[in-house]
Amino acid sequence: MAARAAALPSPKARRSPAPGLAVGLSTLYLSVIVLLPLAALSWHAHGWEAIASAQAVSSLKLTLGVSMVVALVNAVAGTVIAWTLVRDRFVGQGFVNALVDLPFALPTIVAGLTLLALYGPKSPTGVNIAFTRWAILVALLFVTLPFVVRTVQPVLLELDTEMEDAAASLGAGRLATFRRVILPNILPAILSGVALAFARAVGEFGSVVLISGNLPFKTEVVSVYVFGRIESGDAGGAAAASVVILAISFAVLLAIGGCRRWVTRHDR
Amino acid sequence: MIGKYVVRFAALGYLAALLAAPLGYVFWRTFRHGLGPAWAAVTTPDAVHALKVTLILTAIAVPANTIFGILAALSIVRYRFPGAGLFNAVVDLPLALSPVVVGLALLILYGRGGWLGGHGVVFALPGMVLATIFVSLPFVVREVVPVLREIGTEQEQAAATLGASAIQTFTRVTWPAIRWATAYGVVLTTARALGEFGAVSVVSGRLAGKTESLTLYVQDRYQSFDEVGAYASAVVLALIAVTTLILMTTLKPKEETR
C-alpha cells in the first residue's frame, strides 16, 4: 500500500491554486486581526519609567506570586480531579465531568459575580474574603480549574494498569506505585496544564475585577493596573506594562510547546 | 480502601465549593422571589439592547473565525510554507494573552493618532467586533488541526487522482471528516465570544444602550447597586453557558469515537 502510494504521481491538490489561497488568506486574516494591533501596541509602548513605578512593580509581583500559587494548587487539585474522573466510579460522574468545563463556558464577569455572592460581604456562609488577596486566589482558581484536569485526563485514560499491577506485585505500596510509576507518566501533561493555567492567571481580568477591590499595592493585579492606566489616559504607560505581559505570555507558550514535544516523545 | 473515598471526597468537595455552590446560590438568589422581578430586570430597554449587542458580536465573530479556522488548520497541517512555526505560535497567542492587552492594542491601532485611527472603530461596534474576533480566534483551529493530522492525506490523494477538483476533494472527503471537530470548535468560539469582557470593556467606551454588551451590562448594574439586574443578567449568561456545556458534552464523544 505504501509502495503504491509512493508510486503515484504527486497529488493534484497540491498543484492547484487552493493551497496558496488557504495559506495566503489565513495569513492575511491573522496579520490584520492579531499582528497589526500587537505591532502598534509595541511601537507605542513608551514611558518605560511607568513600568518601574512602584505601583506597576507591586501589581506585577502580586500577579506573578498569586499565579504561581494558582499553578501549584491546580497541579494537585487538577490531578486529583482527573484521577477521580478516570479511576473512580460513582453516581453522577458524567455530570461532574461536564461541570469541570463550566469555567470555560461561563463568562468571567459572571464567575466573579457568583464568587462575590457566596464569599463576599453579603455571604450567607459568613465567609467574607472580598477585597483580599484570598479573593484573587479563589477567582483565579475558578477560571483555571479545567486546564490541568483536561490535559491529565486523556493521559490517565490511556495509561495501562499493567505497570501498576507489576509494581504492586513486586511489593510497592500504593504511594510508591503512584510516585514511581504513575507520576512520571503524567508529569508532562501536568506541567503543560499548569503552564496554561499560569498564563491564564497572569492575564485574567473579568473574574478578578469585582471581587478584588483593586486596591493599589494590595489587591491590584497587573491587568487591572493596565486598565487603570488606560482609564487615566496614559496609553503609553499602559502599553509598556502590556508589553511585559505579552513577553510573559509568549514565554509560557514556548514552554508549553516544549512540554508537548516532551509528551509526544514519551508516547513513543 | 478508605483512601479511595478520601480522594473522591476531596475532588468533589473542591468542585462543589469552587463551582457548584456559588453558581447554585446565584440562581437561588435570582429566583427566590419568583420569576417576575428577574424577568422585569432582564427586559429593560438597556438589558435587551445589551443582549442584542452581544448577539451581533457573536454572529460576526463566530462565522469569521470558523472560516479562518478551517483555512488555517489546512494551512498548518497540509502545506509547508515559510514562517509556519510563527503562524502556529501567533494562532495560540489569544489563548494566553490578557484581554485588557488585546483591547489596548486595538485602542492604540484604531484610536486617535493611531496608524488606522479616525474611522470610528473604537468606542463603537466595529472595535468591539474586532476585539471579540481576536479573543475567540484559536478555538476552531485547535480542534480541527489534530483531526486533520490523524486522517492523513491518503483519501484526499485518492480523490485527486480520480479527477476530483480541490473543492470537490474538500466537500466530499475532508469536510465529512472534520465537521464534528469544527462543530465543537464553533461551540467553544461561541462561548468565548458571548462571554468576552476585558477586551470589549476597553474598546467599547461602555455607553449604556449603545456600546454595552451583556457582560458589560452585568458590571454596570452591579456597580450601580442594582443587584437584581446584575444577578438576573448574570443568570441569562450562565444559562447560555450551561447550554454550551450540554452541547460540548454531546459533541465530544462523537469527535472521539469517529
Give residue limits of the domains in chain A.
12-44, 47-267
For helices A54-87 and A183-203, angle between their N-to-C axes, nearest 10 degrees:
140
Cβ distance of A101 and B245 shorter than 8 Å? yes
Nearest Cβ partner for A33 among B71, B133, B237: B133
- A138 touching B (Cβ < 8 Å): yes
CATH number given to B43-257 = 1.10.3720.10
Distance from CA of B175 to the nearest CA of A (A): 15
Residue A3 — pLDDT band, cuts 50, 70, 90? very low
Give the residue from B108, B121, B194 with the most A CB atoms within 10 Å of its CB, the best one to mutate: B108
Q: Whole-number mean pLDDT of chain B?
A: 90
Cβ distance of A253 and B218 shorter than 8 Å? no
User: So what's the pLDDT on residue A265?
Assistant: 59
List all residues of chain A from 104 to 133 with a beta carbon under 8 Å from chain B: 104-110, 113-115, 117-119, 124
User: So what's the pLDDT on residue B209?
Assistant: 81
Q: Which residues of A touch B188 (CB under 8 A)?
A: 104
Average pLDDT over residues A19-28: 88
Residue A18 — pLDDT band, cuts 50, 70, 90? low
Reported residue count of chain A is 268
Using one digit for the tens of pLDDT, what is the confidence trace for B196-209?
999 999 999 888 88
User: So what's the pLDDT on residue B34?
Assistant: 84
- Rounded to 5 degrees, φ, ψ at B82 are -60, 135
- Which residue is closest to A102 within chain B, CA to CA? B245
Cell numbers describing residue B206 = 461602555
- B94 touching A (Cβ < 8 Å): yes
Q: Whole-number mean pLDDT of chain A?
A: 86
Cell numbers describing residue A181 = 510509576
Cβ distance of B98 and A202 shorter than 8 Å? yes
Q: Give the torsion through C-alpha atoms of B12, A76, A156, A266, to 10 deg.
A: 170
CATH number given to A47-267 = 1.10.3720.10
Question: What Cα–Cα distance (Å) separates residue B176 from each residue in B148, B155, B185?
Answer: 11, 12, 15
Assess whether pLDDT exceeds 80 at residue A10. no
Q: Which residues of A touch B87 (CB under 8 A)?
A: 26-27, 30
Cβ distance of A35 and B90 shorter than 8 Å? yes
> Is the four-CA dihedral A95, A97, A98, A102 of positive or negative sign?
positive
Average pLDDT over residues B141-154: 91
User: So what's the pLDDT on residue B250?
Assistant: 86
- A75 touching B (Cβ < 8 Å): no
- A33 touching B (Cβ < 8 Å): yes
Max CA-CA distance within chain B? Answer: 68
Residue with cell 492604540: B108
Using one digit for the tens of pLDDT, what is the confidence trace for A82-119?
999 999 999 999 999 999 999 999 999 999 999 999 99
Ramachandran sector of residue B163 (left: φ over 0; alpha: ψ -120 to 50; beta: rest): left
Q: At a CB cut-off of 8 Å and minimum separation 6, what does B211 contact?
A: B53, B123, B124, B125, B128, B204, B205
Exposed (0-12), middle (13-18) or buried (19+): which is A185, by Cβ within 10 Å? Answer: middle
Residue A235 and residue A255: Cα distance in Å, rounded?
30
- B134 touching A (Cβ < 8 Å): yes
Cβ distance of B91 and A30 shorter than 8 Å? yes
For helices A235-267 and A222-231, angle between their N-to-C axes, nearest 10 degrees:
150
Residue A16 — pLDDT band, cuts 50, 70, 90? very low
- Which residue is closest to B23 within chain A, CA to CA? A114
Assess whether pLDDT exceeds 90 at residue A228. yes
Give the residue from B23, B42, B92, B104 with the most A CB atoms within 10 Å of its CB, the best one to mutate: B104
Ramachandran sector of residue A246 (left: φ over 0; alpha: ψ -120 to 50; beta: rest): alpha
User: So what's the pLDDT on residue B19?
Assistant: 93
Residue B139 and residue B92: Cα distance in Å, rounded?
9
Residue A247 and residue A202: Cα distance in Å, rounded?
11
Distance from CA of B168 to the nearest CA of A (A): 10
| A260: nearest Cα among A178, A198, A196 | A196
Cβ distance of B248 and A113 shorter than 8 Å? no
> Is the four-CA dihedral A167, A169, A173, A174 of positive or negative sign?
positive
b/e for B144-167, b at 16 or more Cβ within 10 A?
bbebbeebebeebbebbeeebebe
Distance from CA of B201 to the nearest CA of A (A): 9
- Which residue is closest to B244 within chain A, CA to CA? A105
Cell numbers describing residue B159 = 480523490
What ranges do the domains of chain B cover? 1-32, 43-257
Average pLDDT over residues B99-124: 91
Neighbours of A171 (CB within 10 A): 7
A115 close to B22: Cβ distance less than 8 angstroms: yes
Residue A257 and residue A37: Cα distance in Å, rounded?
24
Using one digit for the tens of pLDDT, what is the confidence trace for B1-28?
677 889 999 999 999 999 999 999 999 9
Neighbours of B36 (CB within 10 A): 9
Assess whether pLDDT exceeds 70 at residue A248. yes
User: So what's the pLDDT on residue B192?
Assistant: 94
Average pLDDT over residues A35-42: 93
Using one digit for the tens of pLDDT, what is the confidence trace for A127-170?
899 999 999 999 999 999 999 999 999 999 988 888 888 888 88
Neighbours of A30 (CB within 10 A): 21
Residue A66 and residue B118: Cα distance in Å, rounded?
39
Max CA-CA distance within chain A? Answer: 74
List all residues of chain B from 66 to 85 with a beta carbon under 8 Å from chain A: 68, 71-72, 74-75, 78-79, 81, 83
Cβ distance of B104 and A41 shorter than 8 Å? yes
A189 close to A152: Cβ distance less than 8 angstroms: yes
Cα A30 off chain centre by: 22
- Which residue is closest to B61 within chain A, CA to CA? A33
Cβ distance of B100 and A227 shorter than 8 Å? yes
Cβ distance of A113 and B104 shorter than 8 Å? no
Q: Which residues of A touch B19 (CB under 8 A)?
A: 99, 102-103, 142, 145
Reported residue count of chain B is 258
Distance from CA of B180 to the nearest CA of A (A): 18
Distance from CA of A143 to the nearest CA of B (A): 10
Neighbours of A213 (CB within 10 A): 16
Nearest Cβ partner for B23 among A5, A34, A114: A114
Q: Which residues of A touch B249 (CB under 8 A)?
A: 94, 97-98, 101
Ordered DSSP codes for chain A: -HHHHHHSPPPHHHHSSHHHHHHHHHHHHHIIIIIHHHHHHHHH---HHHHHSHHHHHHHHHHHHHHHHHHHHHHHHHHHHHHHHHH---TTHHHHHHHTTHHHHS-HHHHHHHHHHHHSTT-TTS---TTSHHHHHHHHHHHHHHHHHHHHHHHHHHS-HHHHHHHHHTT--HHHHIIIIIHHHHHHHHHHHHHHHHHHHHH--HHHHHHSTT-TTTT--HHHHHHHHHHTT-HHHHHHHHHHHHHHHHHHHHHHHHHHHHHHHHH-
